[in-house]
Amino acid sequence: MTTRFRVTIEYDGRTFVGWQRQTTGASVQGAIEAAIHRLTGEAVAVHGAGRTDAGVHADAMVAHFDLDRPMTPFRLTEAINAALRPLPVAILDCVVAPGFHARFDCTGRSYRYVIVNRRASLTWQAGLAWRVPAALDADAMHAAAQRLVGRHDFTTFRSAHCQSRSPVKTLDSIAVRREGQTVIIETAARSFLHHQVRSMTGCLKLVGQGRWSADDLAAALAARDRTALGLNAPPDGLTFCRAFYPDMSAGFTPA
């Protein structure tokens, strides 16, 4: 009898080519699938709530897979985590979830981008944040970011390799705040285009430096043209935070 499991996953994206399995390079999806195969001998497909690029991290990526071998969620979690070591991937939670689909049942996703605003080089945060030496006005960034909220054609902020059928998305929220030398950008939407968060972040950095105004950001959005993009931020500071589901108790367990 096949059992469907829902898992919540944390990972450091620095050593991976991204979430999605690829023909070259190690992926998070591939690492988990390989770990399950070593444990059970079964070739399973792990389906995630979203996809992250090379160098992008996750606090709580939600995924599901089907397994023929009978195992309790606790035993399965312990076994997969043991098989994954020393890779920087961990199963935080595992439950039996009949009929659950990590991607199609997901009603929202949130991301966090971390900028360290200082002249000194990064040490332990290298690869986990974007260092911006020039002073940033986080309040100006937050005010300008509100021009992006709502339903828009986000072509300007869309990668040329994006596979989404439409560039029209609804950005539910975006907030920018400063905590000491750290500037944090948090955003949520039902779904995002490829590179959308990184592209919005790059343009907000220009606003923070005073090189762009809020009107410039709005004009870039209205242009619906990738060539109007001011800057695409690196993946280092980006983290997939959480996935939302109609029944949150069945769709997400906080890390």
Asked if the peptide bond before residue 88 counts as cis, ω within 30 degrees of 0, the response is no
Fold of 108-242: Alpha-Beta Plaits (3.30.70)
pLDDT 10s digits, 214-255: 999 999 999 999 999 999 999 999 999 999 999 764 444 433
pLDDT of residue 254: 38
Place of tokens 């343009």: 203
- Classify domain 3-105 by CATH architecture: 2-Layer Sandwich (3.30)
Q: Taking a C-beta distance cutoff of 8 angstroms, is the pair 124, 114 a contact? A: no
Residue 106 has pLDDT above 50, yes or no: yes
pLDDT 10s digits, 53-102: 999 999 999 999 999 999 999 999 999 999 999 999 999 999 999 999 99
List Cβ neighbours of 104 (8 Å cut-off, separation of 6 or more): none
Report the predicted TM-score, pTM, of the whole model to 2 decimal places: 0.93
> Using 50, 70 and 90 to split pLDDT, how confident is the model at 23?
confident
**Averaged pLDDT for residues 39-55:** 95
Q: Parse the chain into domains and list their residue ranges.
A: 3-105, 108-242
Vertex 133, ends 126 and 217: CA angle to 5°? 105
Domains 3-105 and 108-242 share a fold: yes
Q: Is 59 a catalytic residue?
A: no
Catalytic residue among 53, 59, 105, 236: 53
pLDDT of residue 205: 98
Per DSSP, which regions of the chain are E strands?
3-11, 47-48, 57-67, 89-96, 108-116, 130-131, 150-153, 168-179, 182-189, 238-244
What is the SS3 assignment for 79? helix
**Averaged pLDDT for residues 173-198:** 97
